[in-house]
Structure formats: C-alpha cells, structure tokens
Amino acid sequence: MSAHSVNEPSGRQKWIAGTLVIAYALITMIPLVWIVATGFKSPADAISYPPKVVFEPTLEGYVNLFTTRTRQTEDYLAANPPQTWYEEIVRQYDMVIVGPSRYGERFLNSIIIGFGSTFLSIFLGVLAAYAFSRFRIPLKDDLLFFILSTRMMPPIAVAIPIFLMYRQLGLSDTHLGMILLYTAVNISLAVWLLKGFIDEIPREYEEAALIDGYTRFQAFYKVVLPQATTGIVATAIFCLIFSWNEYAFAVLLTSGTAQTAPPFIPTIIGVGGQDWPAVAAGATLFLLPVMIFTVALRKHLLRGITFGAVRK
C-alpha cells in the first residue's frame, strides 16, 4: 500500500466531483455565452420570445456600436446607394451612417489609463516592496498596515474630496488624474504581493553581487528584478484588471475626455431603450481580452489571488 492511497479519492468519487464541478462551470458560463451571442443577433432576435438560441448571425450590433446613424428621406436614400457592407446593414432601417461613435475613444482611454496606472503601480510598488523586504525601516509593520488600510475606504467616500481636489488642480476628467488615482488604489495590493514574491528570493544572491562590487542599486535591478519577474507579471495583471474594470471613480470623476469604457457601455442606447446587440458587442470586445488573459495566464493568476489574500 503506497503512502498516498489513503487520501487518493476513488474513481467513483472523482467522477461525481468532476460532474458536479463541470455542471456548475457550465451554468456559470451561460450569462457570458449569452453576452457574446447577443452581440451577433439582430435587434429583433435579441428581444424575441422565447429567447433564441439558434439565430442567423449578423454584425449589426458591431456596426451600431462603432457608428452614429440618422434616419433619412426616401429621396436621399435613393440618390445615394450604399457603398460598403456596413452601410448596407444600416440601410435596412432607412438610416445612414453619419460618423463614428465614441466607443473607440472610450476603449482607447481604458487602455491608456489601464496600462499607465499599471506601469506606475508596478514601478513604485517594486521599489517599496524591495525596501520593505530587505531594509530595516522604522515602524515597518505600521506602515505596511497603513498601506493596506487605505483599501477599506469606500470609493465614494474618497471620491468627494478627490473630486474637489482635482477640480482645484485641473486634474478632473484627465488621463493623468485617473492614472494617479488608480495607482493610489492599486499600490497597496502591489506592495503586499510584490513584498511576498521578493521575500522568497534568497538574500545570498544580492550579497554575492555586493561582494562582487555591485552597488545596492545595481544589485537590485541586475539581480533581484530578473528573479522577481513572475511575481511582477502576476501583480501587473491584477493592477491592470482592476483599472480596466473600475467604475465608481470613472463615473464620478470623468465625463468627456477621459471617460473609460465601463461607464460608457451601459449608456449605449438605440431606438426605444438600450440597443442590446450593440451593448453586448461593446461588452464582448471589452470583456474578451480579460477572459483570454485569465485562461492563458491561469497559473500565475490563481496563485496570485490566493497568495495575496492568504499572506495578509
């Protein structure tokens, strides 16, 4: 009898456990599958009863997502035949495309603010985490707790003074303002996660480098940084996902120029209420990168979630 046989679940147990978990996974996926599917439905199919599982896919939702349209007279429509496939789609409703929608801009804002704040959080976070990991800092535990406790504030509570402060400084509705704000929110998690990862790197590596004539500074970025790459990547993904998904600050502090996609997508409306295929198309494009990221980098991510939580 081998050492593991006691705890190794039997074949039947595994089969039951597997079936239940897969059943849960499939149910939990329904809303997500429905978002993707609705993006390819025509407005009529999207709101049909009973809900349509089989339908003829169309790109109408995506065309509506990226364009603004207006109704035109029959004479105008007859005089100007559609030039492209997307104009043809719009023509079914006696409409013409008058320009691009704001979705592209909002998406771009999400990318700029997401990557900008992630870069800044990691840059500052790695420095602070290294210092906390390696040096004797007075009141270290208090400082670490202080950094963590900043996460307990409800975003709306912080938003009031930030709103006033940004108005004074001219930072409201700017990319820079949002990047700084998201960095401030992310940095507590970044420092905690990165400190954990750097703690795991043996000090002997740096000490050897110091003896070889490296300065502390060189030892840090020539020896420690390359060792911490995995941890940095995992932390960066968390920061990016937070900034990407954030809604409360975005909806309160941005309106025109720096608005990100989450506050924008729910406001996509068509004739008589929300244009669900366009909303679903916008949501699909916005959520899909995160889903792909999650599946592709699952090893780092899942470890990071438990690691970050359990450490504290």
Partner 1 sequence: MTDTAIDKIAQRTPTRVARKVRGLSDRAIAWLFVGPTIFLLLAINIFPLIWTVYLSFTNFRANRPNREVEWVGLRNYERILTDSDIWLNMQATAHFLFWTIVFQVLIGFALAYLINKKFRGNDLWTTIIVLPMMLSPAVVGNFWTFLYQPQIGLFNYIIAFFIGADPSSFEMIGSVTLAPWSIVIVDTWMWTPFVMLICLAGLRSIPDYIYEAAEIDRASKWRQFWTITVPMVLPFLMLAVLFRGIENFKMFDLVVQLTGGGPGSITELASINLKREAFEKWRTGYSSAYAIILFVTVFGLASIYVKALNKVKER
Q: Which of residues 3-22 bind partner 1 (CB under 8 A)?
A: 3-4, 6-7, 9, 13-15, 17-18, 20-22
Taking Cα atoms as reference points, which of 102, 101, 99, 82 lies closest to residue 90?
82
Out of 58, 72, 218, 230, the only residue in the binding site for partner 1 (CB under 8 A) is 218
8, amino acid identity: E
Contacts (CB under 8 A) with partner 1, residues 233-292: 241, 244-245, 247-248, 251-252, 261-263, 265-266, 274, 276, 279-280, 283, 286-287, 290-291
For residue 161, give the 3-state DSSP assignment.
helix
Binding mask 80-119 for partner 1 (x = CB under 8 A): ----------------------------------------
Q: Which is nearer to partner 1, 71 or 151 (CB)?
A: 151
Is the distance from CB of 67 to CB of 100 less than 8 angstroms? yes
User: Helices in 59-202 by DSSP H: which ranges?
Assistant: 60-66, 74-79, 85-91, 103-134, 140-149, 155-169, 175-199
Is the Cβ of residue 30 or residue 78 nearer to partner 1 in the bound state? 30
Least distance from C-beta 30 to partner 1, angstroms? 7
Yes or no: say if 233 and 144 are a contact pair by the CB < 8 Å rule.
no
CB of 240 to partner 1, least distance (A): 11
Of residues 156-215, which lie at the interface with partner 1 (CB under 8 A)? 156-165, 180-181, 183-184, 187-188, 191, 209, 212-215
Chain Cα centroid distance, residue 198: 25
Q: Which is nearer to partner 1, 76 or 146 (CB)?
A: 146
CB 253 within 8 A of CB 179: no
Q: Which is nearer to partner 1, 40 or 97 (CB)?
A: 40
User: What b/e sequence results for 290-300 when a residue is b if at least 16 CB atoms lie within 10 Å of its CB, and e otherwise?
Assistant: eeeeeeeeeeb
Is residue 244 within 8 Å of residue 185, measured between CB atoms?
A: no
Among 98, 108, 137, 271, indicate the residue that binds partner 1 (CB under 8 A). Answer: 137
The two tokens of residue 103 are 């979705």
Q: How far is the CB of 92 from partner 1 (least distance, A)?
A: 21
Instruction: Identify which range of 54-62, 81-89, 92-100, 217-225 contacts partner 1 by CB under 8 A.
Output: 217-225
